[in-house]
Amino acid sequence: MKNIKYCFPLIALFLFNIIGQVNAQEKKVNIPTIKLNNGLEMPQFGLGTFNTPSNEVAKEAVLVAFRSGYRHVDTAHAYNNESAIGEAIKESGIPREELWITSKLWPSDYANGNTLESINKMLERLQTDYIDLLYIHQPVGNYEEAWIEMEKAVASGKVRSLGISNFDATDEGFHAIVDNMKIKPVAMQIECHPYAQRKNVQEKLKSYGIAQECWYPLGSGNKDLLADPVIKKIADSHGKTTAQIIIRWHIQEGFSVIPGATNPDYIKENISIFDFALSDDEMTAMRSLNKEKRFFNMTYEQVKEMATNWVLED
């Protein structure tokens, strides 16, 4: 009986976990979906997880996101946080079919016939039986052979959709996959934000029925973009932040958008964009900001070198 006081913290922790799980399941946000060219519906908005400073931070960010209503998470083998995200998925208690999990194969994953083994390891790290969308991360190395192996993973149910990432860097790579492969990419990930709206790529993707998913949607947190006076004026008139206006602009352009955040306040702020809309005039003002100014400025040659030297978790 006298030991009962030692039980209280454990009971409290147990209840906290239960409440946490229920909260993760109960917070409902009506996130629109994009109908992909394979018929699947992908939540148009999700959490990006590039550059998370540690596995603990990555896991906590995903848990905060789930509790705030996010159901779509974007990761990659190269981010070295898939195992943390796998833990968050498991701990959240959210039924797997309510989540949309995207990951990406790095060039070393598709070298020397490694693709299927790499996908198996990815599933283990993410603690899941399937990935909703699997991208080829870079148009580097033997991506055509890898794609054929990825098609086998779709056939066996380990992957539901395939996508290409950064294939705006090479027309040859884009057409090798889009024109010649049995399974068409459902989406292409590219850098895109109000200062680099990627008009040419937009048109190209539309003509092929491929969804555009935007990375660096906030310009990687660029201060000038987030303080832009045109965006600020729109933000003030809606009682929103500039980041929220930018994300809302992505949504109304029809892009899929995956802002990255580890700060819990930003995570919550970024999803609070489904209770207002930008007018036609505001959309025109946002479009007028385009100067095709990218924030990621590595050349294709430099990306090839980076792909060779990147260190990956097992």
Annotated binding site: 137
Measured from the Cβ of residue 303, the count of other Cβ atoms closer than 10 Å reads 17
The whole-angstrom separation of Cα 242 and Cα 250 is 13
Tell me which of 107, 266, 278, 282 binds ligand NAP, using CB under 6 A.
266
Distances (CA, A) of 149 to 102, 120, 142, 155, 193: 17, 12, 11, 10, 33
Smallest gap from Cβ 30 to ligand NAP, in A, equals 20
Q: Decide if residue 243 touches ligand NAP (CB under 6 A).
A: yes
Chain residue whose CB lies nearest ligand NAP: 260
101 vs 40: CA distance, rounded Å: 13
- Torsional sign, CA 4, 10, 14, 17: positive
Please list every residue from 89 through 128 that binds ligand NAP, using CB under 6 A.
none
Choosing from 220, 252, 272, 290, the residue that interacts with ligand NAP (CB under 6 A) is: 220
End-to-end CA distance of the chain: 48
Q: With CA atoms as reference, report the closest residue to 74 among 87, 85, 84, 64.
A: 85
As a whole number of Å, the CA-based R_g of the chain is 20
Element (H, E) at 18: helix 4-26
263 binds ligand NAP (CB under 6 A): yes
Q: Which secondary structure element, helix H or strand E, spans residue 187, and what is its range?
A: strand 187-191
Count of residues of this chain found to bind ligand NAP when the rule CB under 6 A is applied: 26
Is there binding between residue 262 and ligand NAP (CB under 6 A)? yes
Judge whether 79 counts as a catalytic residue.
Answer: yes
Q: Does 216 bind ligand NAP (CB under 6 A)?
A: yes
Residue 278: CB minimum distance to ligand NAP, A: 17
Closer by beta carbon to ligand NAP, 25 or else 304: 304
Task: Residue 106: name the closest of 125, 84, 89, 128 by CA.
Answer: 125
Binding residue positions for substrate? 137
Question: Quick check: 256 binds ligand NAP (CB under 6 A)?
Answer: no
Q: How far is the CB of 162 from ligand NAP (least distance, A)?
A: 14
Among residues 260, 271, 282, 286, which is the contact residue for ligand NAP, using CB under 6 A? 260
Residue closer to ligand NAP by CB (options 128, 270) is 270
Judged by CB under 6 A, the chain residues 26 through 65 that form the site for ligand NAP are 48-50
- The single residue among 270, 273, 282, 286 that binds ligand NAP, judged by CB under 6 A, is 270
Angle of helix 229-238 versus helix 242-253 axis, rounded to 10: 90
- Positions marked active-site: 79
**Residues near ligand NAP (CB under 6 A):** 48-50, 74, 165-166, 189, 215-221, 226, 241, 243, 258-263, 266, 269-270
